[in-house]
Structure 1
Amino acid sequence: MKELIEKINAEFEAFATEANQQSEKGNKAAGTRARKSALELSKLFKEFRKVSVEESKK
């Protein structure tokens, strides 16, 4: 679970960096990378929910 949280934090940092580059500097490629990170975050959040529910049943 701790490993999953670390992955989520790392991916969020990447998302925040790319989103800021797009919004502040108008970097279109950064927008593409930010969207990719957002999709990856979505997958990680689903995995977190699955693991969290399993652990709460113990």
Structure 2
Amino acid sequence: MSRFKEMQDLVNSLESDFEKFYEGGNKAAGTRVRNGMQAIKNLAQEIRAEITAMKNAAK
């Protein structure tokens, strides 16, 4: 479950930048959001690979 917590923390860390970009039009915040979204994508891919490996090892 630590990987789930890691994903939650990453998503939550972007909240203020989302607000700054969408509500305030802050372009630098948009860049931080895009970078954060890429990190989320990479973490999700790592978790997927980990789950697949664990699933296949259990057979």
Q: TM-score, normalised by structure 1?
A: 0.82
Please give the secondary structure, in 1, of the residue aligned with 2:14: helix
Please report the TM-score for the alignment, with normalisation by the length of structure 2.
0.81
1:40 partner amino acid: A
CA drift of 1:46 comes to 0.2
Cα displacement (A) at 1:6: 1.4
Q: Please give the alpha-carbon distance, in whole angstroms, between the structure 2 residues aligned to 1:17 and 1:50.
A: 30
User: C-alpha separation between the residues in 2 aligned to 1:38 and 1:47?
Assistant: 14
* Number of residue pairs the alignment of both structures matches: 57
- Residue 9 (structure 1) aligned with residue 8 (structure 2): yes
Aligned CA RMSD, in angstroms, stands at: 1.3
- Between structure 1 and structure 2, the one with the greater Rg is 2
Relative contact order (alpha carbons < 8 A, sep ≥ 6): 1 or 2 greater?
1
Structure 2 unpaired stretches of 5+: none
